[in-house]
Amino acid sequence: MADQSVSPVPVTPGGLSRRAQQFIETEGVRVRRQDIRRHRDAWIGHGVPAAEVERATAFQDRWGGLALPAAPFYEGGPRILDADCPEEMPAVGWSFPAGDCRASMAYSFAIGPDDAFGIDAYCWTPLHASTGGWLESLALAAHARRWATTVTRVTWRAVDALDLGEFEPVPEVQGVTDSWWRGKDSLIAVYRGEAVGLDAPQCLEAHIYGGLDEWGLYGG
What range does the domain containing 23 cover?
18-134
pLDDT at 5: 55
Q: Mean pLDDT throughout 147-161?
A: 97
Residues 47 and 112 reside in one and the same domain: yes
pLDDT at 220: 67
- Whether 4 shows a pLDDT value over 80: the answer reads no
Q: What is the mean pLDDT of the chain?
A: 94
Residues 146 and 180 reside in one and the same domain: yes
Q: Mean pLDDT throughout 40-69?
A: 97
Residues 49 and 157 reside in one and the same domain: no
Q: Mean pLDDT throughout 66-84?
A: 96
Q: What is the largest CA-CA distance in the chain?
A: 56
Among 114, 134, 154, the domain boundary falls at 134
Predicted confidence band at 90 (pLDDT cuts at 50, 70, 90)? confident
The domain tally of the chain equals: 2
H-only helix segments in 47-197: 50-63, 131-147, 157-160, 193-197
Pairing relationship of beta strands 205-210 and 187-191 according to DSSP bridges: antiparallel
Q: Mean pLDDT throughout 163-174?
A: 97
DSSP tag of 74: G
**Torsion over CA: 94, 97, 98, 104 (sign):** positive
Residues 127 and 177 reside in one and the same domain: no
pLDDT at 6: 63
- Whether 176 shows a pLDDT value over 90: the answer reads yes
Residues 106 and 149 reside in one and the same domain: no
What does the alpha-carbon distance between residue 214 and residue 117 come to, in Å, rounded to a whole number?
29
Q: Count other C-beta atoms under 10 Å from residue 111's C-beta.
A: 27
Residue 7 belongs to a domain: no
pLDDT at 69: 95
Predicted confidence band at 1 (pLDDT cuts at 50, 70, 90)? very low
Residues 130 and 147 reside in one and the same domain: no
Residues 81 and 149 reside in one and the same domain: no
Q: Mean pLDDT throughout 174-195?
A: 98
Residue 101 belongs to a domain: yes
Residues 174 and 113 reside in one and the same domain: no
Our CA dihedral for 146, 219, 187, 103, rounded to 10 degrees, sits at -60
Residues 60 and 154 reside in one and the same domain: no
DSSP tag of 175: B
Q: What is the pLDDT of residues 6-30, one digit of tens each?
A: 677 787 888 999 999 999 999 999 9
Residues 126 and 148 reside in one and the same domain: no
- Whether 133 shows a pLDDT value over 80: the answer reads yes
